[in-house]
Structure 1
């Protein structure tokens, strides 16, 4: 049945992304995330690691936007609006056949997947600096440059295999002495942090591209108890002020 669905999905007859968003009752296992201090340490990697991977920009995008690995690796410069400080997810790097080969495909699986994400100033500045590097490489290589317009790419412009991206993340993470979360933990860290500072779960759902808010609530429900305590404390302060 699984292979039938995969083949139907590739032919456009079935949306496989729908299944990825379905959560069974056992969904509430605790996701691995970093603390706010861990995030700060990670974002300071350029000052802490001498030979930092060129793919760090992709990791920075993930932890500051919550984008999926394939979405990050498929992001193009034409999808980034520096003036409005937003990016639009139109393309993803995904498996394209039964042999496990990857390719760049349009992100049109679900309405939620095709979305616009607002960018913090920190990320905009990093993207501008990284674009300078890419533009220089494009000029130096000339006709030998494989121009896919990708933000995260090799020195000759081709797309980066997810396994190589994961290895680069692991090396960076370990070099900084941070807790050993997987690459997808950057997305979970982003969402958990937003929920912890009081951002509406509905907004978090839209930012992550979840098809259903139940997915968001189920995945990040571990943050809610601390928020409940914060609400109670704020109510106590309100009562004190009334007195």
Structure 2
């Protein structure tokens, strides 16, 4: 059971999502006014879902405002299908997105995948040259400097690092990280890796190599 916050200006969507997730015994809080989110304790939630197109405060703006205050997964629910829009959202710190219209089964599977990922137990430390993974805390350090990765960015790094030198396709990485057995969205992985490279690059580290036409590998 998890505590989930859903913000959407469409009452029908809120009702649908609440009913679907309540079937999995989750405690779902719904809000139709995005401005209200600024006045609640976001740390109480295990996962947050934001509609992108809302009046007043859109989902992109809200994600940007709250990302530094929470470390739980943030998922966009959106009718936007342009890759540039979706990639922009991921660049703000979101972990994933669900495109409207969506099936109830796919919605529940996607949510469960993110919650399972949050609950995985890690107890070790992984060292790869100047990079250190705190597996129990889901943190990555370059020497003693913590790299500010999102949950999804960290998971991609750990997945690749655990099998360093091995090449994985975007689809394989997506399935391994998100655990969703439906249609993979390789553009999600592309944007996350772009963000990872930018953050690691600020620390002087070039860890992920693109193998053109195949995928990516951890090369340290």
- The alignment's TM-score, normalised by the length of structure 2, stands at 0.31
Structure showing greater Rg: 1
Q: Which structure exhibits the higher relative contact order, with contacts defined as CA atoms closer than 8 Å and separated by 6 or more residues? A: 1
Q: Which has the higher strand share?
A: 2
Q: Which has the higher helix share?
A: 1
- The alignment's TM-score, normalised by the length of structure 1, stands at 0.29
